[in-house]
A and B are shown apart, each in its own frame.
Chain A
């Protein structure tokens, strides 16, 4: 397996895990009183996690030598 393929598996894993975690966390914290509120919170949490992952990736990219 090439490094490119392994990197792709890790990237897809991180995306799937972040979406799954944000969804599960939203199910825990926000009851289905309103689908609109649930989706809004879910989207916001996913965006926060992706932002966090992006900061880590940029940090590793610029500071790992």
Chain B
């Protein structure tokens, strides 16, 4: 169980790592390039991940769109850390659009993580029509 949790944490931090560890190397490389490319374009458009001041939707200063955006953007762990380190310019022309690119890359990583859990540890583990082209994993 500890291995599974560490793999999922790794998949959260580095997109595609969950597939790589479980031998689906092709999917891992494709997902890593795709997710990081979307993230890089988002950064180039001055996109950033803003942590909301409050997570209580009933609070007077709450912004429900910002809270929901952050929940989706949270699923790209590496991107979240990078975007917090880099300087943000929220007044740039395409900052909103850039943040949307970051949100799509994070949403894709969320589905990649779910897929890793389903196909390798969860309900679809032994399913006949969900067999990945697994290369030999060194033991």
The answer to whether A13 and B100 touch (CB under 8 A), given A20-B38, A25-B111, A27-B31, is: yes
- For B119, the closest partner residue in chain A by CB is A31
- For A6, the closest partner residue in chain B by CB is B93
Q: Does B94 contact A (CB under 8 A)?
A: yes
State A20–B35 Cα separation when bound (angstroms).
Answer: 9
A17 touches B93 (CB 8 A): no
- For B38, the closest partner residue in chain A by CB is A20
Chain B binding surface, main DSSP class: helix
Which residues does chain A contribute within 8 Å of B26, judged by CB atoms?
32
Chain A binding surface, main DSSP class: helix
State A25–B31 Cα separation when bound (angstroms).
Answer: 9
A1 touches B93 (CB 8 A): yes
Q: Does B80 contact A (CB under 8 A)?
A: no
Q: How many residues of A contact B (CB 8 A)?
A: 17
B24 touches A20 (CB 8 A): no
Residues of B within 8 A of A (CB): 24, 26-27, 30-31, 34-35, 37-38, 93-94, 97, 100-101, 104, 107-108, 111-112, 114-115, 119, 129-133
Contacts A24-B31, A28-B115 supplied; 19 other A-B pairs, CB < 8 Å: A9-B94, A13-B100, A17-B100, A17-B101, A20-B38, A20-B104, A20-B108, A21-B104, A23-B34, A24-B30, A24-B34, A24-B111, A27-B27, A28-B31, A28-B114, A31-B24, A31-B130, A32-B27, A33-B133
